[in-house]
């Protein structure tokens, strides 16, 4: 660990709500418009890159999500706002222009000084969730580098340069955590302790690829709903970096980098459900979250990317929820790791074709899920819950669409379904890549902007399905 990474608590002016790192200015010279030759960089959040990774064995001092009474019934479906369909959308200008080359409209375009701070509980809780995510990524990328030797990485086809890239990605998380902390202020959540399911480099890469998928999708779900457009602007600039990380981990795993035309957004509680099990404990007085933890969902025949025929996998995961691959479960005769034949070779690469796709429409997918009431997350202090009725459908959340398939029950907490055959647009099969499935009590029609209305109907999940 490099000494410059050791930062002490107290080094950070936590209460500053402005993202100073993004807009450095020479103190005391407001007349300067040119960038000064040297500015002391804004400090970053305190963190450790050498934490223990053990399960929490104690007793939580508090239990349950943050909540505030009275708790209402939730939003019900309403018709569209009539004013939302009146703009002519004909390519002409319809209002006087406030200035040259300045079409009328937009939010935050009238010259009002931007304020980079949460404007509602929704904002705070969403940004705090994103911060929990940035911190686990920071720890995770360091942990992979610390846990596996250079030889382990070389054997998985990753060079010293590749490892430097993983280290750089960890450093990016320091910046993301700092930016969100500056927005949230003094009570921003801090770095926690984590526990991971992987024991090999391939499992680590698959875990990173899946964790960054729900990190990215979890933000896309709330980004357009934030009251603070200013915060949304900065978060967009960090989540685009996260999207690149997700793709790089797919490439390190030998997967096709981006087999979809769009990336899906999911509700905050879906991201929190997937994230929380890997946080073992958080510091005393850690700011808690208001999101729901749903019961965990396991994919018994989760496609395994290190198999020549990935869809032939049975019980080859090391965790529920993320359903990360088990690399030691695959006999060497069925492993694609040591092949150099195009179509089979799954070593790290910019891209690979797979002769046998990881999944296909019509595939029977076997599922099992937990009952609610399990203690999960930091200090085991959150509890899984559901308000849904009987399990009836599997929701496939991918790209722009939520599609349903019928669930055939097999016992009270297990069942099977058939992978649907749907396209987002002609030429773009909807189900591909690392995507989300969940067990629902109904086949509610939702679109990307109102997908959160699924939450009262979630029986279990989400799980990450490795469809391609």
Name the token pair of 260: 């979809």
**CB contact at 8 A, 321 and 308:** no
Interaction mask 52-91, ligand NAG, x per CB under 6 A: ------x-xxx--------------x--------------
Q: Does 349 bind ligand NAG (CB under 6 A)?
A: no
Q: Does 426 bind ligand NAG (CB under 6 A)?
A: no
CB of 112 to ligand NAG, least distance (A): 5
**Three-state DSSP state, 180:** helix
**CB contact at 8 A, 414 and 468:** no
CB of 88 to ligand NAG, least distance (A): 21
Nearest to 463 by CA among 369, 374, 330, 327: 369
Closest CB to ligand NAG among 169 and 344? 344
Query: Which of 42-50, 236-244, 266-274, 447-455 is the region at the interface with ligand NAG (rule: CB under 6 A)?
Result: 447-455
Q: Does 357 bind ligand NAG (CB under 6 A)?
A: yes
**Three-state DSSP state, 179:** helix
CB of 433 to ligand NAG, least distance (A): 7
Interaction mask 245-274, ligand NAG, x per CB under 6 A: -----------x--x---------------
CB of 312 to ligand NAG, least distance (A): 3
Query: Which of 8-16, 155-163, 275-283, 385-393 is the region at the interface with ligand NAG (rule: CB under 6 A)?
Result: 275-283
CB of 358 to ligand NAG, least distance (A): 7
How many other CB atoms are there within 10 angstroms of residue 183's CB atom? 26
Query: Which of 6-14, 16-24, 91-99, 446-454 is the region at the interface with ligand NAG (rule: CB under 6 A)?
Result: 446-454
Closest CB to ligand NAG among 170 and 196? 196
Closest CB to ligand NAG among 120 and 328? 328
Q: Does 312 bind ligand NAG (CB under 6 A)?
A: yes
CA dist., res. 215 & res. 165, Å (int): 19
**Three-state DSSP state, 200:** coil
**Three-state DSSP state, 280:** strand
Q: Does 467 bind ligand NAG (CB under 6 A)?
A: yes
**CB contact at 8 A, 96 and 104:** yes
**CB contact at 8 A, 237 and 351:** no
Q: How far apart are the first and last CA of the chain?
A: 36
Taken in order 429, 207, 320, 148, is the CA torsion positive or negative? positive
CA 207 to chain centre: 12
Q: Does 375 bind ligand NAG (CB under 6 A)?
A: no
**CB contact at 8 A, 181 and 135:** no
Name the token pair of 370: 């937990």
Q: Does 379 bind ligand NAG (CB under 6 A)?
A: yes
Query: Which of 17-25, 29-37, 127-135, 149-157 is the region at the interface with ligand NAG (rule: CB under 6 A)?
Result: 29-37
Closest CB to ligand NAG among 238 and 317? 317
Q: Does 356 bind ligand NAG (CB under 6 A)?
A: yes
Partners of 375 in beta bridges: 383
CB of 164 to ligand NAG, least distance (A): 25
Q: Does 323 bind ligand NAG (CB under 6 A)?
A: no
Name the token pair of 422: 């749907």
Name the token pair of 147: 């846990």
Residues 111-140 that bind ligand NAG (CB under 6 A): 112
CB of 463 to ligand NAG, least distance (A): 14
CB of 27 to ligand NAG, least distance (A): 9
**Three-state DSSP state, 103:** coil
Q: Which long-range contacts (CB under 8 A, 24 or more apart) does 371-375 make?
A: 371/295, 371/413, 372/294, 372/295, 374/295, 374/296, 375/60, 375/63
Q: Does 412 bind ligand NAG (CB under 6 A)?
A: no
Q: Does 380 bind ligand NAG (CB under 6 A)?
A: no
Partners of 397 in beta bridges: 402, 436
The DSSP code sequence of 363-401 is: -EEEEEEPPS--EESGGG-EE------S--EEEEEETTE
Residues near ligand NAG, by CB under 6 A: 26, 29, 31-32, 34, 58, 60-62, 77, 107-108, 110, 112, 256, 259, 281-284, 300, 309, 311-312, 315, 318, 326, 328-329, 340, 342, 353-354, 356-357, 359-360, 366, 379, 381, 400-401, 410, 414, 422, 424, 429, 431-432, 444-447, 450, 453, 467-468
């Amino acid at each position: 660990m490099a000494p410059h990474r050791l930062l002490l608590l107290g080094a950070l002016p936590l209460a500053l709500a402005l993202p100073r790192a993004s807009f450095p200015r020479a103190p005391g010279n407001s007349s300067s418009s040119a960038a000064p030759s040297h500015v002391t960089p804004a400090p970053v959040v305190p963190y450790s890159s050498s934490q223990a990774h053990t399960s929490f064995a104690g007793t939580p001092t508090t239990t349950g999500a943050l909540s505030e009474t009275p708790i209402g019934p939730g939003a019900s479906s309403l018709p569209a706002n009539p004013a939302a369909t009146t703009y002519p959308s004909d390519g002409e200008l319809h209002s006087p222009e406030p200035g040259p080359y300045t079409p009328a409209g937009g939010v935050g375009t009238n010259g009002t000084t931007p304020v980079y701070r949460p404007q509602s509980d929704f904002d705070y809780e969403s940004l705090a969730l994103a911060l929990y995510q940035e911190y686990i990524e920071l720890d995770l990328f360091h942990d992979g580098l610390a846990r596996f030797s250079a030889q382990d990485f070389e054997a998985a086809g990753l060079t010293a340069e590749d490892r430097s890239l993983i280290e750089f990605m960890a450093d990016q998380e320091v910046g993301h955590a700092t930016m969100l902390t500056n927005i949230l202020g003094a009570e921003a959540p801090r770095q926690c302790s984590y526990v991971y399911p992987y024991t090999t480099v391939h499992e680590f890469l698959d875990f990173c690829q899946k964790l960054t998928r729900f990190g990215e999708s979890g933000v896309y779900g709330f980004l357009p709903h934030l009251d603070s457009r200013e915060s949304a602007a900065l978060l967009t600039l960090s989540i685009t970096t996260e999207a690149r990380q997700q793709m790089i981990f797919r490439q390190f795993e030998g997967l096709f980098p981006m087999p979809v035309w769009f990336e899906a957004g999911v509700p905050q509680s879906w991201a929190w459900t997937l994230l929380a099990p890997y946080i073992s404990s958080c510091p005393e007085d850690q700011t808690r979250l208001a999101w729901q933890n749903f019961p965990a969902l396991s994919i018994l025949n989760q496609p395994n990317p290190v198999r020549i025929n990935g869809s032939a996998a049975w019980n080859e995961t090391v965790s529920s929820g993320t359903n990360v691959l088990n690399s030691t479960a695959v006999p060497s005769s069925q492993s694609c790791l040591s092949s150099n034949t195009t179509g089979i070779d799954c070593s790290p690469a910019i891209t690979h074709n797979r002769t046998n796709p990881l999944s296909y429409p019509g595939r029977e997918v076997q599922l099992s899920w937990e009952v609610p009431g399990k203690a999960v997350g930091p200090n085991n202090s959150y509890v899984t819950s559901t308000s849904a009725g009987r399990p009836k459908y599997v929701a496939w959340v991918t790209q722009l669409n939520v599609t349903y398939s019928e669930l055939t029950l097999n016992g009270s907490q297990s069942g099977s379904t058939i992978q649907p055959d749907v396209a987002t647009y002609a030429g773009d099969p909807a189900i591909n890549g690392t995507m989300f499935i969940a067990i629902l009590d109904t086949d509610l029609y939702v679109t990307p902007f109102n997908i959160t209305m699924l939450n009262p109907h979630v029986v279990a999940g989400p799980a990450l399905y490795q469809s391609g």
